[in-house]
Amino acid sequence: MRSINVLFVLLVLLFLAGCGSTTDSAKTTVLEQTTAPTSVAAQTGDVRVIQMTVKNFAFEPSNIQLSKGDKVKLVMNVESGNHGIAIPGFNIEQSLPQGTTQTVEFTADQTGSFNFFCNVPCGPGHKEMIGSIIVS
Ligand SMILES: [Cu+2]
């Protein structure tokens, strides 16, 4: 029993030493650690990071090929105009304000062809802002 008590005290001391001054800062640290490794995962093929440029009036690339099961991180750099992207097949809607970088993540868990389009009236080329995701 005594050695168990000593072990417990040591664990408590370790825990206290490892934590920040408040639980809030500890939580923040954990969150940062969980979001940061995605780029590492991308290199191993676990997450596919797709860089997209959004501008008046196009998504580039507008055709995206995926394999079923891919975890996808779509990183959209909005160069010009205020747009949005809707991918109904994956329940995604994201506004894309000019000058920002927006990210959506989803898993390509079904095969097929899935259209995406701009869902914010943005000007004369609005209806041309379309694309498709092919999952095979
Ligand atoms: Cu639009």
73 lies in the same domain as 99: yes
Tell me, in angstroms, the distance from the centre of ligand 1 to residue 108's CA: 24
pLDDT band at 3 (very low <50, low <70, confident <90, very high): low
The whole domain housing 109 covers: 41-135
Residue that is written with structure tokens 């676990």 in the block: 46
Choose between 38 and 106: higher pLDDT. Answer: 106
Q: Are residues 98 and 125 in the same domain?
A: yes
- Residue 75 and residue 19 share a domain: no
Domain count, the chain: 2
Check whether residue 65 and residue 5 sit in a common domain: no
- Residue 59 belongs to a domain with what CATH number? 2.60.40.420
Residues 17 and 64 in one domain: no
Q: State the distance from the centre of ligand 1 to the C-alpha of 121, rounded, in angstroms.
A: 4
Q: Give the DSSP H or E segment for 98.
A: none
Closest CA to 53 of 71, 82, 75: 75
Write the DSSP string, 6-18.
HHHHHHHHHHHHH
Mean pLDDT of the chain: 80
Q: For ligand 1, an ion, list residues with CB under 5 A.
A: 83, 118, 120, 122, 126, 129
Same domain flag for 21 and 57: no
d(CA 32, CA 57): 34
Global pTM reads 0.67
Give dist(CA 94, CA 9) in Å, integer. Answer: 49
CA distance 6 to 26: 25
